Structure 1
């Protein structure tokens, strides 16, 4: 897949590295000279300019991109870039800081494909949002421990199991459960697992791929790639 990421700061650059390691094409947009040099030293193609300008986005290849990630600290730049990218048929993922009020979040969330909080999600969560996957980071609680929300797929080996029958790896614990479109809550033992249900799991990074295999039904190789490596900083 082809990605255009606006912002070569800590979140943008680390997200770009994770995506590139998985074989995706990544182009960065940045206007800070020091950040541009750092990104180019890591062999990223970088367009020097304002990511909210259509001409700059075109220079970065937005017309041929699959996804645009607006990951700067400037909400106006991020939103404008996403609105432009939508006209090119891109999936749009926009960074927003947690300090914004709920009504502002809802206003922007309705206009883009996904809103992320980098303070909470970091590079792994941003990568999952860009890919539009079925697992997303919620929070890091220790260097190698993360809370993730997983969406059960039709191909999951545990599809049709009850919560009492579900056995996760030793270093993974279920925190909450929600039926499709329903609120998350503490699960009951006889609750059945179905396509579209969501499970919040506290898991060690080492077993995230095992969790994906069980709840999403991915192959071991794909589950390992999608689980990612490292945490939120």
Structure 2
């Protein structure tokens, strides 16, 4: 996939690194000369300029991007970027640093697909937002352990099961559960799993593909390939 990230500061550059490590193509837009040099020294393609200007976005080939991440520290710049990028058919991700502003942006920002709080989520959260999909890596706990959030799909073998009825592989456990569009809570109760519900699972890498097959309905080949690569997006 191809991504355009506006802002080569701490959040933007770390997100670009994570995406590149997973084999994606990334173009950065930055107007600070020192940040431009640093990103280019790391081998990134960088367009120097104001990312909120349509001409600059076009120079970064926004028309061929799958998603645009507006990850600067300036909310107004980020919002403008997303409005422009949406006209090009891109998935748009808006960085926001103040939680109390979310309600305002949710109300007026029809051109924004997802808001992120880098201070809470880090680069891996920004990457997940850009990729979209039904599987999100939350954190690598140890060398062989990962926390992932999975969204139940219509193809999931466990669709209709309750939490107590789940039989996950050894070395994996459910940490949290949330109904569609509801907050995550501690697992429990007898509510049936439905499409759109979310489970946060701690799993050993060796059984992660099995977990993905059960909760998302990936084919065995796809689940093994994704678990092996660490990919969390592109699963529809």
SS state at 1:164 partner: helix
- Which piece of structure 1 moves more, 199-208 or 101-110? 199-208
User: Does 2:119 correspond to 1:119?
Assistant: yes
Cα distance change of structure 1 residues 48 and 206 upon mapping to structure 2, 3 Å threshold: farther
Residue 165 of structure 2 aligns to a residue whose secondary structure is: coil
| RMSD value, Cα | 2.8
Q: Which runs of 5+ in 2 are unaligned?
A: none
Structure 1 residue 195: Cα displacement:
2.3
- Note the residue ranges of structure 1 that are not aligned, 5 or more in a row: 229-233
**1:127: Cα distance to partner?**
1.1
1:31 CA displacement: 1.1
Q: CA deviation at 1:176?
A: 3.1
Judging changes above 3 Å, is the alpha-carbon distance between structure 1 residues 117 and 153 closer, same or farther for their aligned structure 2 residues? same
Q: Cα gap change, 1:105/1:205 in structure 2, threshold over 3 Å: closer, same or farther?
A: farther
Tell me the equivalent position of 1:223: 227
Say if 2:4 is the partner of 1:4.
yes
Q: CA 1:2–1:200 in structure 2 vs 1: closer, same or farther (change >3 Å)?
A: same
Q: Tell me the matched-pair count.
A: 227
Instruction: Quote the Cα distance in structure 2 between the aligned partners of 1:195 and 1:226.
Output: 24
> Residue by residue, what CA displacement relative to the aligned partner does 1:147-170 show, whole Å, maximum 9, x if unpaired?
653211223343333211213455
Residues 106 and 196 (structure 1), Cα distance of their counterparts in 2 relative to 1, 3 Å cut: same
Check whether the contact 1:121–1:137 (CA below 8 A) recurs between aligned residues. no
- Aligned partners of 1:141, 1:62: CA distance in 2, in Å? 31
Distance 1:104 1:172, change over 3 A: farther
* Correspondences of 1:48-67 after superposition (within 5 Å): 48-67=48-67
TM-score (norm 2): 0.81
Deviation of 1:103 after TM superposition, in Å, equals 3.0
